[in-house]
A = this chain, B = another copy of it.
Amino acid sequence: MQTVRDLSICFRRQIENHHHLRVMEESMSGFCISDGRGSVANNNNSGGSGTKCGRWNPTTEQVKVLTELFSSGLRTPSTDQIQRISNQLSFYGKIESKNVFYWFQNHKARERQKRRRLSFDHDHGGGGVGDNHSTININHSSTQSFAQLYSESEKVIETLQLFPLNSFGESESSDKLSSRVHANDQCRDNNNLMFSYTMGEQIDHPPLDLRLSFM
């Protein structure tokens, strides 16, 4: 399943077909604190499915669908959408809605991170001209409408994908950054007096009167 890695970078690049297939059959439920690293390496072929447990291991089909959705512009599915997607994907193997949730969360974050890194490099490398427009930045947060589209005609999705559908007139106005709390006082530790217990092991409990200290 090394496809995933590459997929994330390009938009809609066709997933490399893998040999194989192999429906999944896991059915292990919930958690299964894998006893140790040694657990099965399960280096099966690309199927990548039947992992032991403990962590969802998406099927190639699942990844494929998710990726396509993502490249279609879906970035932050609503709870409702997550559910639907999850239901759909459960066909290919075990999956929970939270998996879908995390998947999008991670995917989005990592894409952003990547881009950030790139622009960062550019900033230091060249004249700072924003020449890297290679990214579309679909920032339409209107996931709701998307839900509609999604559930009805997938054709429209394509539209979304084509362009932001949102004027760029929006100014950044990054002057504000007021930030209410904003932990500005960082690194203020080391005023904790006395030794730190945590080292060796359990300390008794020191001030545990919390509960009793109600007013």
Contacts and interface: CB of A to CB of B under 8 A. Distances in A.
Contacts of A198: 25, 41-42, 46, 59-61, 92-93
**What range describes how many residues of A lie at the interface?**
35 or more
B80 A97 contact: no
A132 interface: no
Contact of A88 (B54, B174, B210): B210
Given A91-B208, A198-B41, A214 B46 contact: no
Interface string A88-130: 1011111011100100000000000110110011001100000
Contacts of A199: 25, 46
Nearest to A93: B192
Contact of A177 (B4, B80, B192, B209): B4
A195 B45 CA distance: 10
Contact of A28 (B90, B202, B207, B215): B202
Contacts of A212: 65, 68-69, 72, 149, 154
A207 B91 CA distance: 5
A177 B215 contact: yes
A196 to B, nearest CB: 4
Contact of A3 (B174, B188, B201): B174
Nearest to A207: B91
A209 B88 contact: yes
Contact of A96 (B98, B121, B205): B121
Given A48-B190, A79-B195, A98-B114, 18 more contacts: A1-B172, A3-B176, A10-B116, A25-B199, A59-B198, A61-B203, A68-B212, A69-B210, A69-B212, A79-B117, A83-B120, A92-B206, A93-B198, A94-B189, A96-B125, A154-B211, A158-B214, A180-B215
7 contacts: A4-B179, A25-B198, A46-B196, A51-B189, A72-B211, A94-B192, A164-B181
